Chains A and B, each alone.
Chain A
Amino acid sequence: MLPLAGDPQDKKSDVLRDKRGLRMLSDRPLNAETPVTLLDDDFTPNDRFFVRNNGRVPRRALGQELKGWSLTIDGEVEKELQLTLPAIQDFETVERALVIECGGNGRAGYVPQAKGNQWTLGAVGCAKFKGVRLRDVLQRAGLKKTATYIGYYGEDVHLSGDTTKSPISRGVPIAKAMDEHTLLAWEMNGVPLPAQHGFPLRLICPGWPGSTSGKWLRRIWVRDRVHDGTKMTGQAYRLPKRPVTPGTKVAPDDMAFIEEMPVKSIITFPGSGVEHRKDQPLALRGHAWSGSGDVRAMHVSIDFGQTWIAADLKPPVNRYAWQRWTAAVRFPTAGSYEVWARATDTTGKQQPMVVPGWNPKGYCNNAMQRISIQVV
């Protein structure tokens, strides 16, 4: 039950040498988000990428040791596969910049408080990943007609040390698994996956909650029914089917899985609270993304949403990457202002001005970001 002596995860100081400036929410398990001003890069470097762990990082990952590792594909398949990393790398390689966002990003905004890690804005990042399509691997195994869902299993260890328990074992419907953008990735920003990010192989289901993108993979189980692994049951990653008043108890049967994450954006420059001279325009920038993989428009407001200024929004480098936006605003007078940033997705849905409908686990808060500017 107690942590093993000498485990590098349990050192009191300097918990992570390879992360800079993140705000840690928990050390056991390790959860840390990125301040938005540190998400300013076009692509999030490894040492700025947020960490969301459910259990203990496997020793293999800490030691970057590949020996003895393989990925099993089994279940509703014609032929069970057991693939080493070189065998996986034999499939057609793709490189994609992909957003991974925690389903609970923004949870801290819900009132009354929702259970779980109190992420604010920084449980999101967009890095360059290299891998293969899960689809190609599943086609090699041959899906039976009964194939309905996948469930992943990883090498991470349950916090209690009980090896019969998974810290997390989620999955997605077979259609999402077979989508051409769903990847098995081994490289992040040009280097093998860091220990915290799933060495040696992780799943990436773009646009869906980060918990569907399993780390430290050992097995993909193709199932004939909805996967029921850890964090697939109860209220986990579900939203109420009908809107509820804040604080309502909702039965799991009245809830449905989150699939595509809603449209969202962040202001990465300037930081909130800066002073700005009135005679110059203020240059703003940030990123926008959505679970459907494309953002149509970006606007900012300096008058609490009364009027909106269109930002310049770049297309994504590939689908499911985030999109850079820039804007320049002029202030009519000196004084204390707020700048609001609002993204619109390709169906016309905008980010809400306030925290959206309360849900028991505090998922999918995609309210607009607001920063304060002191104009002098």
Chain B
Amino acid sequence: MRVVLFMLMLVACACADPPRQTDAAPPRRAEPAKQPAKEPARELTTETLPGLRPGPGREHVIGNCCGCHSGAIIASNRLTRDAWNEVIDTMQKKHGMHALRGRVRRAILDYLEAVQRPDDPGLRLGKASPWATPLYRPNPFWK
């Protein structure tokens, strides 16, 4: 039991990286650099990965999803509740995910619908990869 708890803690730690940037950060383009824009040659670390945002039900995502893959792929996708439901179906049909109790699946979907819902990616992208701005504009024909 202690081993199980310890393992769960390890998994929780792996998914619990805090987000690197907040929505309060100003857009980078408002202050153009005087020096040529240079990418810092950092070593790759997990500190820069997007982490799972706080919200009710987050622990169900960590416990049921992060055993196989990290939280980063979840935190970088923004989908409707229906689309997230299909993602869970795919995990179960194709990738060996275990069955979920009804209330657990609902708790996971509630969390994802709350914190990983569709938004305007144009605003977000500049923070994640400033060297890719001003590349993307929202599709004006999106209904």
Q: Chain B residues near A109 (CB, 8 Å)?
A: 121, 135-136
Fill in one digit per residue for B68-85: 1 if any A CB lies within 8 Å of its CB, else 0: 111011001111000100
A369 lies within 8 A of chain B by Cβ: yes
Q: Confirm or deny: A120 has a beta carbon within 8 angstroms of a beta carbon on chain B.
A: yes
Whether A245 touches B143, Cβ cut-off 8 Å, given contacts A14-B45, A271-B37, A355-B136, is yes
Q: Is A162 on the interface with B (CB-CB < 8 A)? A: yes
Complex A-B, nearest 6 residue pairs according to Cβ-Cβ distance, in ascending order = A271-B37, A120-B132, A159-B68, A111-B139, A28-B70, A21-B41
From the candidates A13, A121, A159, A372, name the one contacting B45 in the complex (CB within 8 A). Answer: A13
CB distance from B105 to the nearest CB of A (A): 18
Distance of A364 from chain B, by nearest CB (Å):
15
- Complex-state Cα separation, A147 to B87, whole angstroms: 34
Cβ of A180 within 8 Å of any chain B Cβ, yes or no, is no
B57 touches A (CB below 8 Å) = no
Per the CB 8 Å criterion, the residue count for chain B at the interface is 62
Say yes or no: is A338 at the interface (Cβ < 8 Å to chain B). Answer: yes
> Residues 9-37 of chain B: 1 if any A CB is under 8 Å from the residue's CB, otherwise 0?
01101100000000000001100111111
Taking a contact as CB atoms under 8 Å apart, the answer to whether B28 and A273 are in contact is: yes
A2 and B10 contact, CB distance less than 8 A: yes
Q: How far is the CA of A112 from the CA of B14 in the complex (A)?
A: 29
A27 contacts which of B34, B36, B70 (Cβ < 8 Å)?
B70
Say yes or no for B138: interface residue by CB 8 A criterion: yes
- Bitwise, B123-135 to A at CB < 8 A (1) or not (0) is 0010011111111
- Which listed residue (B67, B131, B142) contacts A272, Cβ 8 A? B131
Binding site for A on B (CB under 8 A): 7, 10-11, 13-14, 28-29, 32-49, 67-70, 72-73, 76-79, 83, 87, 90, 94-97, 118, 120-122, 125, 128-139, 141-143
* Closest-CB distance, B64 to chain A (whole angstroms): 10
**Is residue A12 within 8 Å, beta carbon to beta carbon, of the partner chain?**
yes
- Report Cα–Cα, A367/B142, bound state, in Å: 17
**Interface on chain A toward B: helix, strand, loop, or mixed SS?**
loop
Docked-complex contact B76 and A274, CB < 8 angstroms: no
A1-26 CB contact bits vs B (8 Å, 1 = yes)?
11000000010111111011111111
Residues of chain A within 8 A (CB-CB) of B68 are 1, 28, 159-160
* B28 to A, closest residue via Cβ: A273
Query: Which residues of chain A are near B41, meaning CB under 8 Å?
Result: 20-21, 38
A159-B44 in contact given A2-B67, A37-B37, A120-B135 (Cβ < 8 Å): no
CB distance from A169 to the nearest CB of B (A): 12
Q: Is A108 an interface residue, CB under 8 A from the partner? A: yes
A113 to B131, CA, bound (A): 20
Question: In the complex, which of the residues B33, B43, B95, B125 contacts A108, with contact meaning CB atoms closer than 8 Å?
Answer: B125
Q: Give CA–CA (A354, B11) in the complex, Å.
A: 41
B46 touching A374, Cβ below 8 Å: no
How near does chain B come to A120, taking the closest CB pair, in angstroms?
4
What are 16 residue pairs bridging A and B, where the CB atoms are less than 8 Å apart in the complex?
A12-B13, A12-B14, A12-B46, A14-B44, A21-B39, A21-B41, A26-B76, A27-B46, A121-B131, A270-B36, A270-B37, A272-B37, A336-B32, A354-B139, A367-B135, A372-B29
Determine the distance from Cα of A372 to Cα of B132 in the docked complex, in whole angstroms.
10
Distance in Å: Cβ of B93 to nearest Cβ of chain A: 9
List chain A residues, Cβ under 8 A from B121: 108-109, 111, 113
Chain A neighbourhood of B77, CB < 8 A: 113, 115-116, 118
Question: What per-residue 1/0 map shows which CB atoms of A325-357 lie under 8 Å from chain B?
Answer: 000000000001010000000000000001100
How far, in Å, is A26 (CB) from chain B's closest CB? 4
CB atoms of A273 and B141 under 8 A apart: no
Chain B residues positioned under 8 Å from A338 (CB to CB): 134
Please determine whether B70 and A36 come into contact, CB atoms closer than 8 angstroms.
Answer: no
Are B138 and A111 closer than 8 Å at their CB atoms?
yes
A354 to B: closest C-beta gap in Å? 7
Measured between beta carbons, the chain B residues less than 8 angstroms from A36 are 131-132
Task: Please indicate the chain B residues that have their CB under 8 angstroms from the CB of A2 in the complex.
Answer: 7, 10-11, 67
Known contacts: A109-B136, A159-B69. The answer to whether A25 contacts B46 by CB under 8 A is no
Does any Cβ of B come within 8 Å of A278's Cβ?
A: no
Complex: chain A residue closest to B83, CB-CB: A115
Residues in A232-278 with C-beta less than 8 Å from chain B: 234, 245-247, 270-275
1/0 contact trace for A113-131 toward B, CB 8 Å?
1011110110000000000
- A111-B138, A121-B135, A271-B131 known; 18 new pairs, CB 8 Å cut-off, are A15-B45, A16-B44, A28-B14, A28-B70, A37-B131, A112-B142, A115-B77, A115-B83, A118-B128, A120-B132, A121-B131, A160-B97, A162-B96, A165-B96, A274-B36, A275-B35, A354-B137, A358-B139
Q: Is A370's beta carbon under 8 Å from chain B? A: yes
